[in-house]
Amino acid sequence: MKFIVRMRFTKTGRAKYISHLDLMRCFQRCIRCAELPIAYSEGYHPHMHIIFAAALSLGFESNYEVIELGFSEELSLYDLKSRMQAVLPDGIDIISCYAPKHKMGEISYAEYEITLPCSDGEKLLYDWKKFISSDKIIVQKKTKRGYREIDLKELTECISEKNENDKIILEIRLPAGSTVNVNPSILIEEFGKNVQIPFDFPKFCRKKLLCTEKTEFF
């Protein structure tokens, strides 16, 4: 009988440069440091019961990372949180620990906040509105079987957009999960080809993971 817990955590600051595989290894080591009763699989090479909900692109920040941990015995969620937090690197902050509600496969969307630093926010925001209201935004998406054309216009939902003079901040929702997954960087890359004034190094932050009905994933 396994005791299964999900943990929501942030990945900010320096931690955003930890790749997905490296983060996996980091969690494994931190679990050992915290001396938690993690469950191992059977077999010749036992591995820890650790599952990440959705991989995050290298360089993205996030307030909504979810990891599932299986333990060989029940333990207090408060205790788990404090023991893990004590050993995790800066930038990885545990927000909550809870019993799983949804299946991992139910993840269907993700919301992102995208910050585009620039010299003239008003102009850039104007460009953005024009760009996102075009009929079609066709890009080539790299898949396992070569390239495929997708229409980003159809797939992107705009939640908000604001001008802060030296930058614009966009909030968008895109399909995420195992069936369709769209990385917001391809949208921003395409937008970069359609602007009058160039913007600086864009910053991405994943704000939410959502289920099929666009309710929060737990």
Partner 1 sequence: MKGLSAISILSKIEPLLLKVQKPAQYIGGEVGSIVKDKENVKVSFAFCFPDTYEIGMSHLGMKILYGLINRREEFCCERVFAPDTDFEELMREEKIPLYALESLTPVAEFDMIGFTLQYELAYTNILNMLDLAGIPIYAKDRGDSMEQMVFAGGPCVCNPEPIADFFDFFILGEGEEVNLEVMDLYAEMKEQCASRHEFLCRAAQIEGVYVPSLYDVSYNDDGTIKSIEPLTNAPKTVRKRIIKDFDKVYYPETFVVPFTEIVHDRSVVEVLRGCIRGCRFCQAGFIYRPFREKTPDTICKQADDLCKNTGYEELSLSSLSTSDHSEIDEMLTKLLEVTEEKRVNMSLPSLRVDNFSDTLMEKIKRIRKSGLTFAPEAGTQRLRDVINKNVSDEEIMRTAEIAFSGGYFNVKLYFMMGLPTETDEDIAGIAEIADRIIELFFQNPNRPRGKMVQVSVSVATFVPKPFTPFEFEPQATEEEIIHKQEHLMNSINPRNARKIKVSWHEFRISQLEGVLARGDRKLSSVIYAAWKNGSHFDSWSDRFKWECWESAFEECGIAPEFYASRRRSYDETMPWDHLNYLIDKSFLIREHKKALKAETTPHCRENCSGCGVNREVGRSCF
Q: Which is nearer to partner 1, 30 or 168 (CB)?
A: 30
Q: Say whether residue 32 binds partner 1 (CB under 8 A).
A: yes
Closest CB 214 distance from partner 1, rounded Å: 30
- Cα(23)–Cα(207) distance, integer angstroms: 19
Q: Say whether residue 28 binds partner 1 (CB under 8 A).
A: yes
Closest CB 60 distance from partner 1, rounded Å: 10
Q: Say whether residue 23 binds partner 1 (CB under 8 A).
A: yes
Q: Which is nearer to partner 1, 199 or 217 (CB)?
A: 199
Neighbouring C-beta atoms of residue 25, cutoff 10 Å: 11
Q: Say whether residue 36 binds partner 1 (CB under 8 A).
A: no
Only one of the segments 88-96, 100-108, 159-167, 206-214 lies at the binding site for partner 1 (rule: CB under 8 A); that segment is: 88-96
Whether residue 122 contacts residue 163, with contact meaning beta carbons closer than 8 Å, is answered with yes
- Out of 2, 13, 129, 130, name the contact with partner 1 by CB under 8 A: 13
- Cα(71)–Cα(159) distance, integer angstroms: 38
Q: Say whether residue 29 binds partner 1 (CB under 8 A).
A: yes
Only one of the segments 9-17, 93-101, 104-112, 121-129 lies at the binding site for partner 1 (rule: CB under 8 A); that segment is: 9-17
- Cα(188)–Cα(132) distance, integer angstroms: 11
Q: Say whether residue 31 binds partner 1 (CB under 8 A).
A: yes
Closest CB 84 distance from partner 1, rounded Å: 12
Q: Say whether residue 26 binds partner 1 (CB under 8 A).
A: yes
Q: Say whether residue 200 binds partner 1 (CB under 8 A).
A: yes
DSSP annotation of 89? P
- Cα(207)–Cα(171) distance, integer angstroms: 9
Residue 120 CB burial class (10 angstroms; 0-12, 13-18, ≥19): middle
Closest CB 65 distance from partner 1, rounded Å: 15
Q: What is the DSSP secondary-structure string of 127-194?
A: HHHHHHTSS--EEEEEETTEEEEEEHHHH-EEEEEEE-SSEEEEEEEEE-SSS----HHHHHHHHHTT
Only one of the segments 20-28, 69-77, 105-113, 143-151 lies at the binding site for partner 1 (rule: CB under 8 A); that segment is: 20-28
β-strand pairing of 138-143 with 167-175: unpaired
Please name every residue paired with 3 in a beta bridge, in sequence order, or none if there are none.
71
Applying CB under 8 A, which residues contact partner 1? 13-15, 17-19, 22-23, 25-26, 28-33, 35, 40, 46, 58-59, 87-91, 200-201
